[in-house]
């Protein structure tokens, strides 16, 4: 395991094997153990999606960021994906680093995985952060996500870039931050296209609505005001279904709020960690 110094303490980079042999790459930022926060990235991104948010969080927090299977430096086995499988990967990763429970927060795809984790491992979910996400993409989701997968398979990841950039970031942010936008694009186009297609199919099949009413951990929901990938109405549906969930709309931003307004997302997660109970 490599160790790298950062201004917020020590970062440990490692790889663990899931129960089916898939290797999951991760970064663990060790603080003073005041809170434990696991971060799950968006579709076709990787653990570095959270870098700017991590720098804004309390350095006393222990923070886990990792590459979901099929993404980043994690393995990309040719097998079907499900949000429940991705949630199991996180549970096994937490076992490996010795975490009994944590606040689990995810953006977009990562939010779907976080919902599946909270449903499958409620005793291990000290709090739940749902950022620019939904429990269900709608009745036409299987068809729409299959079409996106087919477009990527036919034309490669680069064929999707223009479509994605306008969904990810507001027009003003793209104009003012071309280097950050370019980094997100490079991460996107570096994806294994077959793994991307399997993940699209996973999101088309995702439906976590039946679990929402059972959540009794602290829950915070945040969504960009201009997000049209997972619109405000989808976030409001989460708020209506989850008892006592907190809700925040962030003005003038789109789908990648952890990149566009990392300080605001860090504040949401900071408050959530302070409300959570850790074992």
Q: Which residues have CB under 8 Å from 38's CB, separation 6+?
A: 63, 64, 65, 66, 90, 94, 99, 102, 103, 104, 105
The answer, yes or no, to whether residue 3 has pLDDT greater than 70, is: no
Region 106-112 average pLDDT = 98
206: left (phi over 0), alpha (psi -120 to 50) or beta: beta
Banded model confidence at residue 1, pLDDT cuts 50, 70, 90: very low
For residue 222, list its beta bridge partners: 131, 248
- 199, 43 contact by CB (below 8 A): yes
Domains along the chain with CATH numbers: 2-137+208-275 (3.40.50.1820)
Q: Return the SS3 of 239.
A: helix
Percent of the chain with pLDDT over 70: 97
Using the structure block, give the residue that is written with the tokens 């104009």: 175
Q: Return the SS3 of 176.
A: helix
- 159, 152 contact by CB (below 8 A): yes
Region 71-75 average pLDDT = 98
Percent of the chain with pLDDT over 90: 96
Q: What is the CA radius of gyration of the chain?
A: 17
Region 188-196 average pLDDT = 98
- Cα–Cα distance measured from residue 198 to residue 97, given in angstroms and rounded to the nearest whole number: 28
pLDDT in tens, 247-275: 999 999 999 999 999 999 999 999 999 99
pLDDT in tens, 127-183: 999 999 999 999 999 999 999 999 999 999 999 999 899 999 999 999 999 999 999
pLDDT in tens, 10-60: 899 999 999 999 999 999 999 999 999 999 999 999 999 999 999 999 999
Q: Comparing C-alpha atoms, which of 138, 198, 188 is closest to residue 163?
A: 188
Banded model confidence at residue 2, pLDDT cuts 50, 70, 90: very low
Q: Which residues have CB under 8 Å from 123's CB, separation 6+?
A: 101
Region 183-211 average pLDDT = 98
Q: Return the SS3 of 28.
A: strand
The answer, yes or no, to whether residue 84 has pLDDT greater than 80, is: yes
- 107, 258 contact by CB (below 8 A): yes
pLDDT the model gives residue 109:
98
- Cα–Cα distance measured from residue 114 to residue 248, given in angstroms and rounded to the nearest whole number: 18
- Cα–Cα distance measured from residue 183 to residue 163, given in angstroms and rounded to the nearest whole number: 16
Banded model confidence at residue 7, pLDDT cuts 50, 70, 90: very low
The answer, yes or no, to whether residue 110 has pLDDT greater than 90, is: yes
pLDDT the model gives residue 8:
56
Rounded to the nearest 10°, the torsion over CA 78, 82, 83, 87 is -60
pLDDT the model gives residue 188:
98
Please report how many Cα atoms fall inside a 13 Å half-sphere around the Cα of residue 6, on the Cβ side: 20
Q: What does pLDDT average to over the chain?
A: 95
- 119, 211 contact by CB (below 8 A): yes
pLDDT the model gives residue 10:
82
Region 76-81 average pLDDT = 94
Residues 113-127: b if buried by 16+ CB within 10 A, e if exposed:
bbbbbbbbbeebbbb
The answer, yes or no, to whether residue 205 has pLDDT greater than 80, is: yes
CA angle, corner 275, sides to 272 and 276, nearest 5?
85
């Amino acid at each position: 395991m490599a160790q790298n110094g950062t201004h917020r303490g020590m970062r440990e980079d490692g790889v663990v094997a899931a129960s089916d042999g898939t290797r999951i790459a991760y970064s663990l930022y060790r603080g003073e153990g005041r809170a434990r926060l696991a971060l799950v990235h968006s579709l076709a991104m990787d653990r570095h999606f959270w870098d700017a948010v991590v720098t804004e969080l309390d350095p006393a927090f222990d923070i886990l960021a990792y590459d979901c299977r099929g993404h980043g430096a994690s393995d990309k086995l040719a097998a079907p994906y499900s949000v429940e499988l991705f949630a199991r990967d996180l549970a096994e990763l937490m076992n490996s680093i010795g975490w009994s429970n944590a606040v689990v927060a995810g953006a977009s795809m990562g939010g779907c995985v976080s919902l599946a984790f909270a449903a499958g491992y409620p005793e291990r979910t000290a709090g739940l952060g749902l950022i620019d996400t939904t429990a269900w993409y709608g009745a036409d989701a299987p068809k729409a996500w299959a079409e996106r997968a087919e477009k990527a398979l036919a034309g490669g990841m680069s064929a999707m870039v223009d479509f994605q950039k306008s969904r990810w970031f507001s027009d003003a942010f793209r104009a003012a931050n071309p280097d950050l936008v370019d980094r997100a694009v490079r991460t996107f186009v570096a994806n294994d296209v077959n793994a991307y297609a399997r993940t699209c199919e996973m999101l088309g099949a995702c439906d976590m609505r039946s679990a929402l009413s059972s959540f009794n951990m602290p829950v915070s929901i945040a969504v960009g005001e201009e997000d049209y990938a997972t619109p405000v109405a989808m976030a409001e549906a989460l708020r209506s279904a989850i008892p006592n969930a907190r809700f925040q709309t962030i003005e003038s931003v789109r789908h990648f709020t952890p990149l566009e307004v990392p300080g605001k997302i860090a504040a949401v997660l900071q408050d959530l960690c302070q409300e959570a109970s850790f074992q």
